[in-house]
Structure 1
Amino acid sequence: MIENSHLRRPIARGRAAVLCLVTLALSGCGLVNTESPFWATVAAIRGGSDTSPPVDRAHVDNLPYASMLAWFDDTKPSFIVLGQVQNGRLFWYSAGQQVIVTRGPYVIQTAGLGRDLTAVQFTKGSVESPLNLIGQERQRSLDARGEGRFAWELRCTYSSAGRENVVILERPMELSKVRETCQQTEGKPIENTYWGDPQTGLIWKSQQVLLPGMAPLNIEILKPFG
Structure 2
Amino acid sequence: MKRKDAAAVAPTPGMLTVIAALTLSLLLTGCGAVAQASLKSVGIAMRGKPDIAMDADSIAASRFAQIKVTGAEGGAILVLGNIDGQRQAWYSSDQNIVFLQHGLVVATHGGPVELRGMSIHGKNPFADLRGVAPGTTVKRRYDVMPGYRYGMTVSGTLQPLGHERLSILGKTRTLLHVQESLQGSDWSAANHYWVDPGNGLIWKSVQAIAPDTSLEIIQLKPFASDLGK
Q: Rate the CA distance shift 1:198–1:97 in 2: closer, same or farther, 3 A.
A: same
Moved more, 187-196 or 83-92: 187-196
The one of 70, 94, 99 equivalent to 1:96 is 94
Aligned match of 1:44: 36
Q: Number of residues paired by the alignment?
A: 200
Aligned match of 1:5: none
Aligned match of 2:177: 177
Aligned match of 1:65: 64
- SS across alignment from 1:117: strand
- TM normalised by structure 1 equals 0.78
Give 1:220's aligned amino acid.
I
Greater helix share, structure number = 2
- SS across alignment from 2:74: coil
Unaligned stretches of 5+ residues in structure 2:
1-8, 43-48, 225-229
* CA distance, structure 2, for counterparts of residue 130 and residue 159 of structure 1: 10
Aligned match of 2:18: 32
| Aligned-residue offset at 1:176 | 0.9
Q: Deviations over 1:146-183 (max 9, x none)?
A: 42121211111111111111111222111110100112
* CA distance, structure 2, for counterparts of residue 33 and residue 211 of structure 1: 25
Identity of aligned residues (%): 25
| Aligned-residue offset at 1:33 | 6.5
Aligned match of 2:201: 202
Q: Rate the CA distance shift 1:68–1:30 in 2: closer, same or farther, 3 A.
A: closer
Q: Is the 8 A contact 2:160 2:178 kept in 1?
A: yes
Q: Deviations over 1:49-102 (max 9, x none)?
A: 946x433111111111110111114x3321111011012111101233211111
* CA distance, structure 1, for counterparts of residue 145 and residue 159 of structure 2: 31
Aligned residue runs from structure 1 range 151-190, under 5 A:
151-184=151-184, 186-190=185-189
| Aligned-residue offset at 1:221 | 0.2
- SS across alignment from 2:10: helix
Q: Is the 8 A contact 1:140 1:154 kept in 2?
A: yes
| Aligned-residue offset at 1:124 | 2.4
* CA distance, structure 1, for counterparts of residue 68 and residue 77 of structure 2: 5
- TM normalised by structure 2 equals 0.77
| Aligned-residue offset at 1:125 | 6.4
Greater strand share, structure number = 2
* CA distance, structure 2, for counterparts of residue 76 and residue 114 of structure 1: 14
Aligned match of 2:191: 192
* CA distance, structure 1, for counterparts of residue 19 and residue 158 of structure 2: 40
